[in-house]
Chain A
């Protein structure tokens, strides 16, 4: 297990980097990751429109580039050319700060994203805890964006956003606690490394509680990123555009971009925590750079599958009501998540941390003899 990408590269290439080399490699890797994730965010908007068009039997964007794939670039240029309107009676400082908070929070969460066993920018020993903390900065950005606009629609959207994001953080945190309990560590490499390459080794099928936990985590992360059916903070038909009603041009673009990147980050974390992360079947490619490539492919395949499900859910289910949303969180998801936590603890104690598959195998082998 390597702590950072620098130590991985140093080990693979047989080099020892001084502080300047470390800084340069970190900077290059962070730049690659940030620009790649920004590209994924941009393509996410394209995928969203194309998949929604597919679901509703339309064509979707098909003019800019082949199959309209350059649509997000055209959108970006358009955003750059838009006039920057700031309401006269708004709180100007906070108004300008809000998109920066959103974007910085999302980008900072990329530091612990376990893309492969080598390409993890920094495998912090408090990895998942850090991720939880940093992604909640996005909630602060959304609330401040709504609050500072001094517009009723934005205010309603910001308040709804804040209450929704903090509420759904509770079941998500409790579910992550039960996964941490199975893995026995907080760093992302520990969490992914404890799983196998096949579904029988995934934490999804470790015990019945983690199976339920995956769905709680997924629903919670949908709500945390304000995706339908929980897109109340930006409900178009009720609140014009919610918390970013007053934002125009690039400031709006950063809200939209950070939302799409955050959806990807949460899908990637779901893939890493429950679906085996970067573990490659048959150990294809070994431990070298080829193996890292296979790991990247596997990890992104799982994440994009979940990303598709998120978009699919958005264009299938109708929006929830505010009181239903809160009832779902506090009266269903939170008690179930608490039950899961207790259940996982007892399971770990009774079976000494073994998974369902291992117990079944043991049982079958014992009966066969």
Chain B
């Protein structure tokens, strides 16, 4: 557990710095809040409605694609870390093959997303109708 101690210490130091600075700032800064100061900035106008509204769905699709990629690269880390050792033992071929199969599946995912038009920021409907016309939907 020894080796993980600095990470906790650094997080602790970060908290001390943040709260220390905020407390010092609290002691010396002016504080006269008013209604106008506490409204959200909208170019000087009064804000119209809350900002927590429905948002463009593209962001969520990107997040979903990201999760798939991130999980797969996290799964590849242990295999990749022992690859060199296995090469020296003379059995690198098995690791290479399994890596290639795994990356092959990953590339298939990229191609699928690309064909579906999910990697375009503005999904063009032309693309999806093309795909549908070719019977690939």
Contact = CB atoms under 8 A, between A and B. Distances in A.
Interface of A: 3-4, 6, 22-23, 26-27, 29-31, 33-34, 38, 79-90, 99-100, 103-104, 106-108, 110-111, 121-125, 129-130, 134, 147, 149-155, 159, 162-163, 166-167, 169-170, 173-174, 177-178, 180-186, 240, 245-246, 249-251, 253-254, 322-323, 326-327, 330-331, 334-335, 338, 341-342, 345-346, 348-349, 352-353
15 contacts: A82-B25, A83-B30, A108-B11, A111-B10, A121-B10, A123-B3, A129-B74, A151-B42, A169-B70, A323-B120, A326-B119, A326-B120, A327-B120, A331-B114, A353-B84
Contacts of A334: 69, 110
B59 A159 contact: yes
A149 B39 CA distance: 10
Given A151-B40, A335-B107, 16 more contacts: A4-B3, A34-B10, A83-B32, A89-B40, A107-B14, A123-B3, A134-B7, A152-B40, A163-B62, A184-B83, A245-B41, A253-B21, A323-B122, A330-B65, A330-B119, A353-B84
A85 B38 contact: yes
B55 interface: yes
A253 B87 CA distance: 49
Contacts of B43: 240
Given A88-B39, A170-B66, A177-B73, A122 B5 contact: yes
Contacts of A79: 25
B135 interface: no
Nearest to B19: A100
Interface in B1-32: 2-7, 9-11, 13-15, 17-18, 21-22, 24-26, 28-32
B30 A100 contact: no
Nearest to A4: B3
Contact of B29 (A84, A186, A245): A84
B18 A99 contact: yes
Contacts of A87: 38-40
B76 interface: yes
Given A4-B6, A122-B7, A323-B120, A184 B51 contact: no
Q: Point out which of B7, B77, B92, B121 has the most chain A C-beta atoms below 10 A from its C-beta.
A: B7
A330 B68 CA distance: 13
Interface in B25-65: 25-26, 28-33, 35, 37-43, 47, 50-52, 55-56, 58-59, 62-63, 65
B50 A89 contact: yes
Contacts of B6: 4, 26, 29-30, 111, 121-122
Contacts of B50: 89, 150
A3 B4 CA distance: 11
A169 B99 CA distance: 20
B2 to A, nearest CB: 7
B85 interface: yes
Contacts of A88: 35, 38-39
Contacts of B82: 184
